[in-house]
Structure formats: C-alpha cells, structure tokens
Amino acid sequence: MIVRTIDEITDTERDVISSDQQWRSKRIVLANDKVGFSVHETTLKAGTVNDFWYANHIEAVFITSGEGELYDKDNDVTYQLKPGSIYVLNGNEKHQLRPTTEITCVCVFNPPVTGREVHDENGVYPLVTED
C-alpha cells in the first residue's frame, strides 16, 4: 500500500516547476512505485498558454479548481474547462491549455513517468523507463 500527502512531496525532487514558471507538477505516484501509471497534481498559472503533446503517453486530466480552455490542435476544437471537467488524450493529441484563472488538476499518465522527464521543444515527454 502507498499512502502519501501533497505536503510530503512539496519542495522535494517530486515537486517540479516548469522552466518558464507557468506550471508546477507534484508527482505523487511515479514509475518506480510499480503500479502501471503515474499521478500528478498540476497547477497552471492564470493567463498562460501551455503547449503539450504527449506522443509517448496517454494522459487523463481531472480539473479540481479553476477555469480555462483546452484547445485540441489536431482537430481545431476548443473545450471549456471548469471544476469537474475531465479530458483524456487517448489519441496523443497536440493540445494547448489556456487557464483564465489558476487551474489545479490531477493528471494520470500511462505508461507512468519516472519524474525525470523534461518537455522537449514540441511539448513531448520522452519515453523514459526505470532501470
């Protein structure tokens, strides 16, 4: 059994802030926990534009607070996000998040991330596996 709190993760190596300071990801469950997925609490700053493309992962995102837009770049569709919204990138869609207020969400990745990944210039996490 794994039991963790956000407070235990805050300000550790599992607490990652983007290089542009637009988002913060607290990695609650990672690949080395060996459960087949990873779980993160991510906060995105209001008024930012965030481009992502998880070419190597399926991601599910559940909005717990805040509002904004999700733009599906592959299909030219914009969705409104608010608390209780969920989106699943089951087609590895290129997407853009545009928070109008600070958004906090819970993200699940499959395959799980290790916590060492860094987004490349296309917003992609490389597929990194545990040794």
Structure confidence by residue, pLDDT tens digits, 47-93: 999 999 998 899 999 999 999 999 999 999 999 999 999 999 999 99
How far, in Å, CA of 91 to CA of 79, rounded? 16
Phi, psi of 55 (to 5 degrees): -70, -20
45 pLDDT above the threshold of 90: yes
Give the model's pLDDT for residue 120: 67
Q: pTM score > 0.85 for this model?
A: yes
How far, in Å, CA of 77 to CA of 42, rounded? 23
122 pLDDT above the threshold of 90: no
